[in-house]
Amino acid sequence: MMGHYYRLGVGVAESNVKAVQWYKEAAEQQEAEAQYHLGSMIQKGRGVAQNYEEAMQWWTSAAEQGQVEAQYMLGESYYCGNGVVQSDAEAARWCKMSAENGDSDAQNMLGCMYFSGRGMAQSNTDAVWWYKKAADKKDKNAQYSLGLMYFGGRGVAQDYVAAVRFFRKSADQGDADAQHKLGTMYASGRGVAKNDVVASEWYRQAAEQGHQDAKHSLEWAFMNGCGVPKSYTEAAR
């Protein structure tokens, strides 16, 4: 699809304007993938004036043809009220459609909706089920959420070892929340052998991403010499 080539600069000079032109030509021929990408370009204002309402129109056309990414974007848009009247029911409908078609972002979001009870009856069991589907596809947000479910015994039997396993999967992909939580697991010895040195290293990784709780945890570690050399200078950084 020529739109891809111009959007990514593959074999041609990168041009969002030309990408939009090619996507629109294909979209008007009812090509679902082009409709999805055209909607995304319009939603972001890339190569064309930003217009959430028009983006929704193209995503709807693509989603009705079964384009899973467009289905997810519709669900997210209804969830947040972007370009459309906010509706948890519509968010759940489109998210579930996309999730059942295998989109990991939608599976994670559906897990969140079951957990919070937005757009559907609250169910920790169903939340865990969808988090697992997304986590199996290496979705770091779902892995972190699944770790929290095991940590709190929500929808599954409480299992600190399993919690650590999923926190680590997410942390290894750079999720700051998971990195901090994994640090606390090492600091407390829950689900893993207590190790203040390793705990501090995970705090550091999260803190370097701006995670405020991790910064506080690392500050405490330096002030008390817990897993790191005691240093008030480092604590104050």
Q: What is the pLDDT of residues 124-178, one digit of tens each?
A: 999 999 999 999 999 999 999 999 999 999 999 999 999 999 999 999 999 999 9
Nearest 5°: the CA angle 37, 71, 104 is 95
Q: Which residues contact 202 (CB under 8 A, 6 or more apart)?
A: 171, 179, 180, 182, 183, 186, 214
Domain end, chosen from 65, 92, 107, is at 65
The packing angle between helices 104-116 and 88-100, to 10°, is: 140
Residue 164: inside a domain = no
Residues 41 and 12 in one domain: yes
For the chain, give the percent of residues with pLDDT over 70. Answer: 99
At 237 the pLDDT is 74
Q: Clarify whether residues 57 and 106 are in a common domain.
A: no
Number of domains observed in the structure of the chain: 2
pLDDT category, 3, cuts 50, 70, 90?
A: confident
Nearest residue to 215 (alpha-carbon basis) of 183, 193, 167? 183
- When pLDDT is averaged across residues 205-223 and rounded to a whole number, the result is 95
Q: Answer yes or no: is 155 within a domain.
A: no
Dihedral sign for Cα 43, 78, 95, 113, please: positive
Same domain, 55 and 100: no
Q: How far apart are CA 146 and CA 137, in angstroms?
A: 13
Find the domain containing 39 and state its range: 1-65
The answer to whether residue 108 scores a pLDDT higher than 80 is: yes
Mean pLDDT calculated for residue range 22-44:
96
Tokens 């991790």 map to which residue?
Answer: 214
CATH code where residue 87 lies: 1.25.40.10
pLDDT confidence of residue 78: 96
Do residues 75 and 132 both lie within one domain? yes
Per-residue model confidence (pLDDT) at position 234: 75
The per-residue pLDDT for 1 is: 72
Q: Among 77, 106, 137, where does a domain finish?
A: 137
Q: Over the chain, what is the mean pLDDT?
A: 95
What pTM was estimated for this model as a whole? 0.90
Instruction: Tell me how far apart the alpha carbons of residues 28 and 197 are, in angstroms, rounded to a whole number.
Output: 58
pLDDT digits over 52-85, tens only? Answer: 999 999 999 999 999 999 999 999 999 999 989 9
pLDDT, residue 228, reads: 86
Instruction: Tell me, yes or no, whether 40 lies in a domain.
Output: yes
